Amino acid sequence: MGKYIINGKKRLEGEITLQGAKNAALPIMAASVLCGEEVVLHNVPDITDVSIMKKILSSIGCFVKTEGNTLTIDPSNISDSVVSESLVSKMRSSIILLGSVLARTKKAKFSYPGGCDIGLRPIDMHLKGLKDLGAVITEEHGYIIADGKDLHSGNIHLNYPSVGATENLILASVFSKGVTAISNAAKEPEIVDLQYFLNKMGARIYGAGTNTVYIEGIKELHGCEYTIMSDRIVSPTYMCAVNMCGGDVFMRGASLDNIKSPYYKLIESGLDVTAFADGIRVRSDGKVSNLDSIISMPYPGFPTDLQPIFTAMLCLAEGTSIINETVFENRYRFTSQLKRMGADIKIEGRIALIRGVKSLSATRVYSEDLRGGAALTLAALCADGQSVVEDVEYIMRGYEDFHTNLEKIGSDIRYVPF
């Protein structure tokens, strides 16, 4: 895999444009399968996970065309409802297609997604919900085989507000007669974006962003044009980078609307933030104050996807910080690499105790997952000397133009492909 070679301690200054949201683009692409006509999506991030989703859509018979950040998907000739192991293993979240393929073709066969680098990530709530909606599901030879000819509306209560399960169940319910209610639903902004998109195609969905989502079944959907929301994990990543390195950066297209929890933590840690109609300006003298409590939680709580990024930032804070990772059980693996750079981190179960150090020292570190890899890159940006961050293809799964954006605002970073 490729690497970043980074000479640290450069102040960040300039402007970057914020990308579309990965976690909205993927379910919206999956939702396009429900439609019998062409769909045009704008602001789709150019990242590897989107490329994998395009491959999966093509593999089941969708026509997919890319022009810059605009995707045209024509699902009118879907010919297959089988998603192979080789594609599911490349992207675990391809499981969000299960609901839409099932609702559109009344059958689906998906390879069972395994655990991943941040936890076991079971899909029991997806499968139980689909069964409660009338799907007959069997598991054979590592495949989930679903029969959806008797899909019906119903009342589903999730034991935990799972983002993927909420999305899958919304997608599976779009054509079911009557009203489906999903309670204890995830409230993430990407679910609201999915609702907007589906309703633009003619669906009748209410309540996304609240505890209960209602789906009133309709007969068919029509094509539409839709712009994906901005990414609410990527903007705080760059904000943390500025806080760590010092600087003055304008993020065009960024908004504080969906990032209240990380925003208040960043203010507390010393970052100066000004919101404008067309973006956010962040300024810092490079001094980071400690944060005595970050608890990752479902939205509107602190996002688990930012936990690794904030952990990297707090390695340089003045004082001790405590993080409690409540969403994924194995999301601290990247900290062993931060320790190689001189970070003082103690992990006890789901708690991380981070004692700030004056400086991190440059070395070679290895990415093992998307956000952990981004965290290591931020650490390298303010380390003393030259660092090498290996296996950066993990980072490219979710960050569009990461190194070119960082270079544009003054980082000394070079991407060396394998």
Cβ density class 99-124: b for 16+ within 10 Å, e for less: bbbbbbbbbbbbbebeeebbeebebe
Q: Report, in Å, the least distance between residue 337 CB and ligand UD1.
A: 20
Instruction: By CB under 6 A, tell whether 125 contacts ligand UD1.
Output: yes
Residue 155 phi/psi, 5° resolution?
-105, 120
Stretch that binds ligand UD1, among 123-131, 220-228, 248-256, 268-276 (CB under 6 A): 123-131
Q: Nearest-CB residue to ligand UD1?
A: 164
Nearest to 306 by CA among 364, 266, 250, 256: 266
User: Applying CB under 6 A, which of residues 8, 20, 99, 164 lies at the interface with ligand UD1?
Assistant: 164
Residue window 75-114: x/- pattern of binding to ligand UD1, with contact defined by CB under 6 A = ------------------x---------------------
- Of the two residues 119 and 154, which places its CB atom closer to ligand UD1 in the complex? 119
- Block residue for tokens 């018979």: 61
Instruction: By CB under 6 A, tell whether 122 contacts ligand UD1.
Output: yes
User: Applying CB under 6 A, which of residues 74, 193, 231, 305 lies at the interface with ligand UD1?
Assistant: 305
For residue 417, the Cα-to-chain-centroid distance in whole angstroms is 24
| Spatial separation of the C-alpha atoms in residues 29 and 21, rounded to whole Å | 12
Stretch that binds ligand UD1, among 120-128, 176-184, 224-232, 307-315 (CB under 6 A): 120-128
| Spatial separation of the C-alpha atoms in residues 238 and 228, rounded to whole Å | 20
- Of the two residues 75 and 398, which places its CB atom closer to ligand UD1 in the complex? 398
Q: Report, in Å, the least distance between residue 327 CB and ligand UD1.
A: 5
Q: What angle do CA 68, 71, 76 make, to 5 degrees?
A: 155
Q: Report, in Å, the least distance between residue 371 CB and ligand UD1.
A: 8
Instruction: By CB under 6 A, tell whether 20 contacts ligand UD1.
Output: no
Contact of 176 with 219, CB cutoff 8 Å: no
User: Applying CB under 6 A, which of residues 126, 187, 265, 397 lies at the interface with ligand UD1?
Assistant: 126
Q: What angle do CA 383, 400, 415 make, to 5 degrees?
A: 50
Residue 200 phi/psi, 5° resolution?
-65, -25
Instruction: By CB under 6 A, tell whether 160 contacts ligand UD1.
Output: yes
| Spatial separation of the C-alpha atoms in residues 287 and 243, rounded to whole Å | 7
User: Applying CB under 6 A, which of residues 41, 102, 163, 374 lies at the interface with ligand UD1?
Assistant: 163
Stretch that binds ligand UD1, among 8-16, 156-164, 215-223, 275-283 (CB under 6 A): 156-164
- Catalytic annotation, residues: 116
Instruction: By CB under 6 A, tell whether 54 contacts ligand UD1.
Output: no
| Spatial separation of the C-alpha atoms in residues 37 and 33, rounded to whole Å | 9
Residue window 214-233: x/- pattern of binding to ligand UD1, with contact defined by CB under 6 A = --------------------
User: Applying CB under 6 A, which of residues 1, 58, 86, 124 lies at the interface with ligand UD1?
Assistant: 124
Instruction: By CB under 6 A, tell whether 328 contacts ligand UD1.
Output: yes
DSSP states along 254-301 = --STT-HHHHHHHHHTT-EEEEETTEEEEEE-S-EE--S-EEE-STTS
Q: Which residues bind ligand UD1 (CB under 6 A)?
A: 23, 26, 93, 119, 121-126, 160, 162-165, 186, 304-305, 327-328
